[in-house]
Structure 1
Amino acid sequence: MKLKPRDSITRTVIDLGGFWRAHWREARQSEMAQGKGYSGVLAVPAAWNYQTPELYEYMGDVWYAREFSLPWNAADCDVLLDIDAANWNACVYVNGTDIGGHSGGYQSFELDVTPHVHRNAPNTLAIRCDMKLSRDTLLQDGRGIGHWHNRGAKFPPSSGDHFPFGGIIRPVRLLLAPRERITGFAYRTELKRGGEAVMHYEVLRSGDGKVALEIDGRKFEGEKGAVEFSSPRFWAPGQPNLYDVCIRLYGGAGRLVDEYTDYVGMRDVTVGGGGVEINGKPVYLYGTSRHDDFPALGSGLSHALLRRDVELMRFLGMNVFRAGHYPPSWELAELCDRLGMMLIAEAPANALFHGEGRPEELASEALGRNHKRAVSEMIDTLENHPSVIMWSVANEPASQKSECAEYLQDVRLHAKDRDPGRPVIFTSCVDEADKASGYFDLTALNIYHHSSAYGGDVEQVKQRVGTLIDEMHRRHGKPVLVTEFGAEGIAGFHSLPPVMFTEDDAVEHNTAYLDVIESREFAAGAMLWAFADFLVGEHYGRAMMNHKGIFTRERQPKRLAWELKKRLGMSADAGRTR
């Protein structure tokens, strides 16, 4: 129910992006917290790793600082600090005072800084970030755990098969808001017979004011209510129908105290025997997975890059993508809302329970608490976006272990408690040994028999993939969504006949996977890994990057992109059934 930082006639948003003072050498905390003694400069938002060579693989403390002043008319406002994401651990100081912090990457958090700001003088904001991972942080440190625990050292160490970018990677904003204000808003769609629908909503507020909601030219009063639509304009893939919403809070004598504007999308998601249904109609999921990764930015947010990436997916005829392996920004979800692109949001939990040792050593109680908190934060931030059709609570855990299966079931129940309306998945990589998929709404499989088992033998790959998805469907009786498959295709590498690591081999193997998946009526969809090449940590098994992208890291098409364009053959705006 977290509100987005939006301007209105009662609210002012101040973007704090730009060049900040920075320091990453030995320092006194007392001086750094007051904005003193800084020796460098870093851009915000952006990962620190590309901004200077000495920070490329750095995982320690980096201090950021800048000044801000409040406008003259802010005397009676509360001042909230909204940080969209600071990887991985952050401590925040205002005018030298520790006001709180957050642990967890790619997650939005908000702090009330009202008691600590100067109204009539400049203020100093300092943020200390670090990438100090452990077995308790949700992205774990990767030492003896994670997929690569038995394949030699990886640097920088982490449990994820993506580069561990650090720093303030998403926008930092100040929100000036009334003391009595609207503090939360959530809604859900209920379909009725005859094409009618009801929007159930809830508004949270501070104080005792009266709540009024306006939508589609109609006005409603109360913190909770139901809005009936006799002929709703549903949101659907390729049909981004949205309704503007204005929520107002009134004080004594009908005085307007606060106003918050947003939009809603009337959309229902269910899972039937053949897959996902949007508003009661089956939709086949053709798509990919995307990392926040680009030269110079690292995982830093760029609105132009987000727009370009979604447009490239639409160019291919895709209708969905998964934000792997961490939650997307609300800005990306909003873009998908407005373009009619479906989105699967994923918690930043990667490769849990892989490694040697007792279960409690691989996944501590503290890790479990952090995992549930991350799921809650993801849902709080993204639940109002109609484009978000599904939650993924983990990527590629060791779900062949009974303790892992029980752990995942516990996290699934937590997600369902927070949002009963959306399907919940995790993505399995252990084939028939998996013990957890039966708990979830769909069986989601990441399959890499091309590279891990059969090398370049396409026919063996097709046979094995078919056997696997048939068995997993027989076992659980649920639709199978293949959330990852792919082959390394280094841009510019070609061969006749196709051999591994060439663009030609990537085309041959991805086409083989698609042939097998699309031939199954129980298949809910096929999602290629990955949208674009992305940076990974140093390891003998990777040539600097994961080269399974449909596009290069710079977003130029490989041969696979053109082949997919021919195969999918239609605009994403038209929607898809199969």
Structure 2
Amino acid sequence: MLYPRSNEARTVLDLNGIWDFQLDDGHAFEQGWWKQDLPAPEKVSVPASYNDQFCDVKVRDHCGWAFYQRAFELPDILRTQRIVLRFGSVTHKAKVYLNGECLGEHEGGFLPFEFEIGARLRPGKNRLTVAVDNTVDYSTLPIGNEAGAAFFGSDLPDIPAVNATRQAPHNAPNFDFFNYAGIHRPVKIYTTPSVYIEDIVVIPVCEQGKWKVCYRVTGSAKDEKVAKVSVLDKKGDVVGETTGNEGEIAIANPHLWQPGQGYLYRLRVVYGEDVYEEKFGLRTVRVEKTSFLINEKPFYFKGFGKHEDTETHGRGLDEAWNVKDLNLLKAVNANSFRTSHYPYAEEMLDLCDEEGIVVIDETSAVGLNFLWNDPLGWSKFRTQEHHRQVIRDLIARDKNHPCVVLWSIANEPDTEKQPEQARDYFAPLYALAHECDPQNRPVSLVICQNDYTRDLCAPMMDIVLANRYYGWYVFGGDLDAARRAMQKEMEYWKSLEKPFMLCEYGADTVAGIHNMAPNMFSEEYQVECLKTINDVLDACPFVVGEHVWNFADFATIQGTLRVDGNKKGAFTRDRRPKLSAHYLKARWREIPDFDYKQV
């Protein structure tokens, strides 16, 4: 799906700003709220989560449907073109109505969707209503618990006072971040000519030291029109051109896209009266034995797992924070991050393309775990077809981004308790990701703290990605034991002869707590915990990266496990550095992006 861009053939209008908002009182659909003005609306900002924009626990912890509404007008001159309404993301399910008519529904809270609306527009003002459902359960991604289960799948205690109390409907997420909801990314109307460019695929190829870009243009007229295609360099000069809906263009004197050097070309496509320019970078990605290669050089990941999470905006797009976060990454000499645990905004990936930040792009499949002795096993989850669609849509959206070097199809699924079922679930998804990606990037999933010797999914991935909390959840406070446990585990992964990357490790740390003798929750303990694990990683040539958990503190649901959120950040939620940020800055300064280890 192409991002809306304005040019000589296309117009983009922004519907962001202040909308009307009202929580469903249980009668919204019965009363047909989408057919009229909302009965008792309040004001809300779009894009943003709605949860923290109000001073009411009922809004913050709401479970179920909420309604957004606004009016808009379009210039008459645009009505001669094809008109499309596009949502960057709505979490987790959306029903969209225009002038009382349902345009359609969308499931999945982190990817875009759109509707053609030209035939349904009225002269003058039009009413747009969006119903948003934030419910998470065994059918959604991310996963929510059902039947009143609490966070991490634990049951309510079996005592009379609890059994006699029936809780109101509420979400019980099986994931450790706040279940923010709402219209999270921009709402846009864009126009195209009636015959238009549907999609563009860009594949950079290097053969015997010579670079070319292979491309494929899909147009609405199918084979009835022929595209004119040219490649422009960063200065706007044409460096190659051809004609055809599919083909290749050789690029002389190439400038490569590399970590820290985000050189971008533009593929300009003229298709009938339509025009579109897609940015791309010249770079290759592949796995060779125990190395992860970018442009045929062994790359070492230095960075973090992150979250789209800020005060007030919640999970909503905030481009100022995106710029700040990338500047902080560069300040501590990081070169990469993972979009834990869902696809991030396209605007963030555009920035990473420009800045040369490497991205592991992850689906929203988090929470497929904690089965323990559940007799239903994997059959309790009703997610596989939705999971397939998320993979298709993610790769369709992000396929041309040079910053994306690796697909992660899940975070911490239960790949050990029910191994045969897990393999049957994930093997087709692994194959699907490869099938969908024109650039055939490596594919993996991130395994949780488990009996790694029984894990049947990690060994079949292109690279082993693991989350490990030795020194925190395992051997908390005992870093000597943490070191020995990590060393023991790495002996096993070495035997697989695959690249290994640690995607999460660290310790909860309350900013301002200091101790001469480091202990848990102090800033000093976080540093010593990271040092302990890093010492082990440095001794293993097959380790190709380290992503600390987490970049910054972030919001979670209420519970005894969390005090005002998860505190594992190297930065506070408002991006103030802890001691660990300074430690990582010094460590990563000495680790080059390429050729860090001799294999």
Which range, TM-score by smaller chain? over 0.9
Separation in structure 1 between the aligned mates of residue 207 and residue 427 of structure 2, nearest angstrom = 31
Shift of residue 156, structure 1, vs aligned partner:
4.2
Partner of 1:561: 581
Cα deviation 1:92-139 (Å, max 9, x = unaligned): 001100010111111111112222112x32111110001122211122
CA distance in 1, matches of 2:267, 2:358: 21
CA displacement 1:188-242 (0-9 Å, x = unmatched): 122211x212211101101232211111312211110011124321111011111
The amino acid across from 1:553 in the alignment is R
Partner of 1:229: 251
| Structure 1 CA distance for aligned equivalents of residues 278 and 140 of structure 2 | 33
1:39 alignment partner in structure 2:
41
Equivalent AA in structure 1 for residue 268 of structure 2: C
The question of whether the paired residues in 1 share the 8 Å contact of 2:363 and 2:390 is answered with: yes
Q: 1:135 aligns with which of 128, 138, 150?
A: 138
Structure 2 counterpart SS, 1:451: coil
Amino acid at match of 2:261: Q
2:390 to 359, 374, 389: 374
Secondary structure in 1 aligned to 2:434? helix
What residue is the counterpart of 2:21 in the other structure?
Answer: 22
> Structure 1 residue 31: deviation in Å?
4.2
Aligned to 1:550: 570
Report Cα offsets for 1:350-395 as digits up to 9, x if no partner. Answer: 131422231354223xx10000101111111111100001100000
Alpha carbons of structure 1 residues 93 and 231: separation in structure 2 relative to 1, 3 Å: same
Provide structure 1 residue ranges, at least 5 long, that are not aligned to the other structure: 251-256
Distance 1:363 1:349 in 2: 11
SS of residue in 2 equivalent to 1:13: strand
Structure 2 Cα separation of the partners of residues 146 and 518 of structure 1: 39
Match of 1:183, SS state, is strand
State the distance in 2 between where 1:399 and 1:258 align. Answer: 47
Residue 409 of structure 1 corresponds to 427
For structure 2, the 5+ residue unaligned runs are 158-166, 233-237
Distance 1:531 1:152 in 2: 32
* Secondary structure in 1 matching 2:76: coil
Name the CA distance, whole Å, in 2 between partners of 1:534 and 1:129. 23
Is 1:10 the counterpart of 2:13? The answer is no
1:260 aligns with 276
Match of residue 476 from structure 2: 455
- 2:459 counterpart SS class: helix
Shift of 1:146: 9.6
Secondary structure at the aligned position of 1:545 is classed as: coil
Deviation at 1:147, TM superposition (A): 7.7
Q: State yes or no: 1:77 paired with 2:96.
A: no
> In structure 2, what is the equivalent of residue 254 of structure 1?
none
Tell me which amino acid in the other structure corresponds to 1:455.
Answer: G
- Equivalent residue in structure 2 for 1:246, among 268, 284, 303: 268
Give, in whole Å, the separation in 1 of the partners of 2:271 and 2:183: 33
Tell me the SS of whatever aligns to 1:297.
coil
Q: CA deviation at 1:152?
A: 5.9
Is the CA contact 1:493–1:503 (under 8 Å) kept in the aligned structure 2? yes
- Pick the aligned partner of 2:307 from 273, 291, 313: 291
The CA deviation at 1:276 is 1.1
The alignment's TM-score, normalised by the length of structure 2, stands at 0.91
Cα displacement (A) at 1:449: 1.9
Aligned to 1:48: 50
> What corresponds to 2:202 in structure 1?
187
Cα distance in 1 for residues equivalent to 2:567 and 2:347: 27
Distance in 1, matches of 2:12 and 2:375, equals 49
How far apart in 1 are the matches of 2:289 and 2:520?
A: 36
- 1:514-529 paired onto structure 2 within 5 Å: 514-529=534-549
Seen in structure 2, the aligned counterparts of structure 1 residues 242 and 143 have a Cα distance that, compared at 3 Å, is: same
Cα RMSD (Å) of the superposition?
1.8
**1:205 and 2:209 equivalent?**
no
The answer (yes or no) to whether the contact 2:411–2:446 under 8 Å persists in 1 is yes
Q: Residues 246-304 of structure 1: CA distance to partner in whole angstroms, max 9, x if unpaired?
A: 11112xxxxxx111122111111011223211111111111111101111110010111
**8 Å Cα contact 2:200-2:278 kept in structure 1:** no
Partner of 1:253: none
- What is the Cα deviation at residue 143 of structure 1? 3.3
CA distance in 2, matches of 1:533, 1:162: 10
The equivalent of 2:527 in structure 1 is: 507
Alignment of 1:311-330 (within 5 A): 311-330=327-346
Do the aligned residues in 2 keep the contact of 1:146 with 1:351 (CA within 8 Å)? no
DSSP-derived class of the 2:368 partner: coil
1:157 corresponds to 2:172: yes
Distance 2:84 2:410 in 1: 31
Instruction: Name the CA distance, whole Å, in 2 between partners of 1:77 and 1:40.
Output: 34
Structure 2 CA distance for aligned equivalents of residues 227 and 143 of structure 1? 53
CA contact (8 A) 2:79 2:118 kept: no
Q: Give the TM-score, by structure 1 length.
A: 0.94
Contact kept, 8 Å, 1:156 with 1:537, in 2: the verdict is no
- The amino acid that maps onto 1:446 is N
1:122 pairs with 125, 130, 134, which one? 125
Distance apart, 1:488 and its partner CA: 0.8
**1:516 is aligned with what amino acid?**
V
Measure the CA separation in 1 of the matches of 2:516 and 2:171: 37
Q: In 2, Cα distance between the equivalents of 1:483 and 1:515?
A: 16
Task: Give the C-alpha shift of residue 68 in structure 1.
Answer: 1.1
> 1:238·1:575 contact (CA, 8 Å) conserved in 2?
no
CA contact (8 A) 2:95 2:132 kept: yes
Secondary structure of the residue aligned to 1:350 is coil
What's the CA shift for 1:74? Answer: 1.0
- For 2:235, the equivalent position in structure 1 comes to none
Q: CA deviation at 1:171?
A: 0.6
SS of equivalent to 1:161: coil
Q: How many residues align?
A: 564
Work out whether residues 244 and 261 of structure 1, in 8 Å CA contact, stay in contact via their aligned partners in 2.
yes
Go from structure 1 to structure 2 and tell me whether the alpha carbon gap of 1:178 and 1:60 turns closer, same or farther (over 3 Å shift): same
> Does 372-381 or 109-118 show the bigger shift?
109-118
Q: Among residues 102, 108, 114, which one is paired with 2:106 in the alignment? A: 102
Deviation of residue 245 (structure 1)? 2.1
Contact preservation (8 Å) 2:150, 2:156: no
Matched to 1:226, the amino acid is E
